[in-house]
Amino acid sequence: MDRPLLDGKVALITGGSRGIGFGIATAFRAEGATVVLTARKAAGLDEAREQLLATPGTGQVHTVVANAGDPDQAAAAVAETAERFGPLDVLVNNAATNPYMGPLADIDLSRAAKTAQVNQIAPMLWIHAAREHGMGRDSGAAVINVASVGGLLVDPHIGFYNATKAALIHLTMQLGYELGPDIRVNAIAPGVIKTELARAVWEAREGVLTAQLPMRRLGTVEDCGNAAVFLASDLSSWITGHTLVIDGGALGLPRAVQT
């Protein structure tokens, strides 16, 4: 029997208690990884841990309450993980926020700052903390940033959110250049994924959206999890600085259909 793709790896996933983060955690554990989930709410983490332990997999599951955008909490979460399990092999920067909907030109400074802190600056904080606690000393270390296909598009409602995701895509390229060969840095850019958090986006328009997509369905957290396993494993050992779009073909639609 072949060894699981992430056998013995230690992976930390920010915003891992639900949605895409939880889907990635599930896929990682199924491939043999020990997973550490962080999120702001203990109750959600406790529920996620119970659900994960009920899924196939041999790795341990640990949770740490941490606000992804808080430098001290990020450092403490990585330190706790390293003390318990050793240096990180995989870091998934999944946590994100979007407190503002509306024209980019009208966003207020406080919500712009919060969005940038969590979506753009926090991934660098977590990477810094992971390196401070030994990530990259052994071969095979990987960072996966969860961006968005919105970082490659224009949208009338979430322009600043998309701008932070575009910045994350560029940071992925830059960090891939700077941290190689010790740490590979890649990203995934999901399109519309069927999560509870995004229900307002897809539920009422699912039929219309799926009819337009070449793959004729919306994305799932399992789609994101499978892509993350590939980027975290040795299967992608010569890939860094790359963003993998997971959108069912939406980015390639003719402009008239996209709008």
Q: Coil, strand or helix: which one is 169?
A: helix
Query: Would residue 177 show up in a list of annotated catalytic residues for this protein?
Result: no
| Identity at 222, one-letter amino acid code | E
Tell which residue, 233, 187, 223, 162, has the closest CA to residue 92. 187
Q: Is residue 194 scored above 90 in pLDDT?
A: no
Domains present along the chain, CATH in parentheses: 10-258 (3.40.50.720)
Give me the pLDDT at residue 259, please.
44
The pLDDT value recorded for residue 1 is 55
Query: Is 257 a residue whose pLDDT tops 60?
Result: no
Residue 100 binned pLDDT confidence (cut-offs 50, 70, 90)? very high
Cα separations in angstroms, 183 against 37, 93, 99, 235, 254:
21, 14, 32, 15, 37
Residues 98, 161, 168, 169: which is the catalytic one?
Answer: 161
Average pLDDT for the chain: 94
The position carrying tokens 């190689």 is 180
